[in-house]
């Protein structure tokens, strides 16, 4: 629609996202920031606003969620009702909305479900980031209640949806039909040419380390107990020798990241110490940085491939960045979304024990052809399946369905997976 001067008239009905948000050091905060960027590109006529926790900042960000209050949801609901949104798009993780009383007892996300009831007149899309294949009783009950209150619920992986056809009937419950699968988005604009890698290595300071070779295996991201860097570092000296004997090439380990949760400090110190011992032997380098923004991509880009030895992930922002760079990788299996996306993309190798990890690292380091093949598979997977531009279109379809449900009073019913 155009006004008299021919300029595009901005629609007054905004898209309102509810989520943690930067500068909070939180994977979902970073996810929301990227999602917002591409939703805004898809809806240039609308404002995309964010209601965040009290540590969120930025233009169009309302830092209203104070989880230290039992009624934290009330100012959020009031703001949403004043904004009169086109749709409310909520990022959910249990810890983000868990109120704990003076004894440390949580409310089981009761406040979150109460908030959904308080904004029920608006189209609601909820995107839960943790949906395990085998749900605990609490998780099953929460997902069931969530699907009752929201118009559309977005799961990241197909297995999360079809597993409900087994889980819910076991409780005697009907499986919700308003669940849509929308994958974790990955940026389509963070790919560097081979002739640009030398400059990136210089930015990171690797050119000042004469013992670091041209070939690097990466351990990159937030350093947490569940990421188990020690699985690879404990074997790296032997692996590097084996690769050298087979190829004549020197391969080194680039371990890069930082700690964001002091509960993981003992393991952080342990993992870092093991890398430093390897560094003294000229076999590795530790690079401390906050895994956010362009530097996150640049650190990964200088690596020939990435190892992601996670012990507990339903899906991973680290993997999304690996995919964005078309970077071959090795990760743990069977493990929820990591395994699912590895099978779907054909872009990585899997391991189930230390022996298999050793073999896969050596195999990938010794075959440039395999690295190229996996990289091309990831490029295709990114371009055809998980680019944020594709995901934004899927979000738009979820918004349309949610708005139709509110307009007609009829629940969204989507096909089952199988």
The position carrying tokens 């021919």 is 6
| Strands of the sheet with 305-308, listed across from one edge | 284-288, 251-258, 215-222, 305-308, 329-332, 348-351
Residues 6+ apart with CB under 8 A from 135: 143, 163, 167
Fold of 194-385: Rossmann fold (3.40.50)
- Interval 170-203: pLDDT, tens: 999 999 999 999 999 999 999 999 899 999 999 9
Contact present, 218 and 305 (Cβ < 8 Å): yes
Q: How far apart are CA 146 and CA 114, in angstroms?
A: 10
Retrieve residue 264's tokens: 């993981």
Helix (H/G/I), strand (E/B), else coil: 77: helix
Question: Residue 84, by phi and psi: left (phi above 0), alpha (psi -120 to 50) or beta?
Answer: left
Q: Which helix (H) or strand (E) segment is 53 a member of?
A: strand 48-53
Contact present, 221 and 257 (Cβ < 8 Å): yes
Retrieve residue 90's tokens: 């909520």
Residues 6+ apart with CB under 8 A from 398: 125, 152, 154, 180, 182
The position carrying tokens 């199988």 is 418
CA torsion 30-36-42-45 (nearest 10°) is -160
Q: How far apart are CA 68 and CA 266, in angstroms?
A: 27
- CA proximity to 157, closest of 268, 319, 348: 319
Q: How far apart are CA 141 and CA 173, in angstroms?
A: 10
Q: How far apart are CA 113 and CA 84, in angstroms?
A: 20
pLDDT at 11: 62
Contact present, 67 and 54 (Cβ < 8 Å): no
Which pLDDT tens digits describe the chain residue by residue (418 residues)?
Answer: 344 343 445 568 999 999 999 999 999 999 999 999 999 999 999 999 999 999 999 999 999 999 999 999 999 999 999 999 999 999 999 999 999 999 999 999 999 999 999 999 999 999 999 999 999 999 999 999 999 999 999 999 999 999 999 999 999 999 999 999 999 999 999 999 989 999 999 999 998 888 888 999 999 999 999 899 999 999 999 999 999 999 999 999 999 999 988 999 999 999 999 999 999 999 999 999 999 999 999 999 999 999 999 988 766 899 999 999 999 999 999 999 999 999 999 999 999 999 999 999 999 999 999 999 999 999 999 999 999 999 999 999 999 999 999 999 999 999 999 9
Q: How far apart are CA 143 and CA 127, in angstroms?
A: 11
pLDDT at 3: 40
| Residue 323 CA, distance from chain mean position | 11
Q: What does the radius of gyration of the chain's CA atoms come to, in whole angstroms? A: 23
Contact present, 333 and 352 (Cβ < 8 Å): yes
Comma-separated ranges of CATH 3.40.50.2000 domains in the chain: 15-185+389-408, 194-385
pLDDT at 315: 66
Contact present, 307 and 232 (Cβ < 8 Å): yes
- CA proximity to 133, closest of 346, 284, 334, 275: 334
pLDDT at 7: 42
Retrieve residue 76's tokens: 């959020």
pLDDT at 296: 95
Q: How far apart are CA 225 and CA 271, in angstroms?
A: 9
- Interval 272-324: pLDDT, tens: 999 999 999 999 999 999 999 999 999 999 999 999 999 887 668 999 999 99
The position carrying tokens 């090439």 is 249
Q: Which CATH class is domain 15-185+389-408?
A: alpha beta
């Amino acid at each position: 629609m155009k006004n008299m001067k021919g300029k595009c008239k901005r629609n007054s009905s905004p898209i309102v996202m509810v989520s943690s948000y930067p500068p909070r050091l939180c994977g979902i905060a970073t996810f929301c920031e990227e999602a917002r960027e591409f939703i805004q590109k898809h809806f240039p006529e609308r404002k995309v606003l964010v209601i965040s926790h009290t540590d969120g900042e930025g233009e169009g960000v309302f830092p209203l969620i104070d989880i230290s209050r039992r009624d934290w949801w009330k100012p959020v609901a009031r703001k949403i009702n004043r904004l009169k949104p086109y749709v409310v798009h909520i990022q959910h993780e249990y810890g983000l909305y868990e109120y704990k009383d003076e004894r440390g007892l949580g409310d089981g996300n009761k406040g979150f479900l109460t908030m959904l009831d308080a904004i029920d007149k608006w189209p609601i899309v909820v995107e839960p980031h943790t949906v395990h294949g085998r749900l605990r009783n609490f998780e099953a009950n929460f997902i069931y209640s969530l699907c009752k209150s929201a118009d559309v619920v977005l799961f990241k992986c197909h297995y999360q949806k079809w597993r409900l056809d087994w889980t819910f009937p076991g409780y005697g419950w009907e499986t919700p039909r308003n669940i849509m699968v929308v994958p974790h988005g990955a940026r389509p604009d963070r790919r560097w040419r081979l002739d640009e890698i030398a400059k990136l290595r210089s930015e990171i300071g690797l050119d000042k380390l004469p013992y670091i070779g041209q070939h690097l295996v990466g351990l990159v991201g937030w350093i947490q107990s569940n990421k188990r860097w020690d699985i690879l570092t404990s074997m790296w000296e032997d692996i590097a020798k084996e690769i050298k004997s087979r190829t004549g090439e020197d391969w080194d380990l680039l371990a890069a990241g930082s700690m964001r949760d002091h509960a993981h400090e003992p393991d952080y110190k342990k993992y870092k110490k093991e890398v430093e011992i390897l560094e003294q032997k000229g076999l590795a380098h530790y690079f401390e940085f906050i895994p956010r923004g362009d530097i996150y991509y640049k650190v990964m880009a200088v690596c020939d491939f990435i190892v992601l030895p996670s012990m507990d992930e339903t899906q991973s922002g680290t993997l999304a960045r690996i995919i964005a760079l078309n970077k071959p990788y090795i990760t743990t299996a069977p493990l929820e979304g990591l395994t699912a996306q590895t099978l779907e993309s054909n872009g990585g190798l899997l391991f189930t024990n230390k022996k298999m990890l050793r073999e896969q690292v050596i195999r990938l380091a010794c075959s440039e052809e395999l690295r190229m093949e996996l990289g091309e598979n990831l490029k295709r997977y990114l371009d055809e399946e998980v680019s944020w531009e594709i995901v934004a279109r899927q979000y738009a379809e979820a918004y349309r369905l949610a708005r139709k449900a509110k307009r007609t009073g009829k629940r969204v019913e989507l096909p089952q997976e199988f």
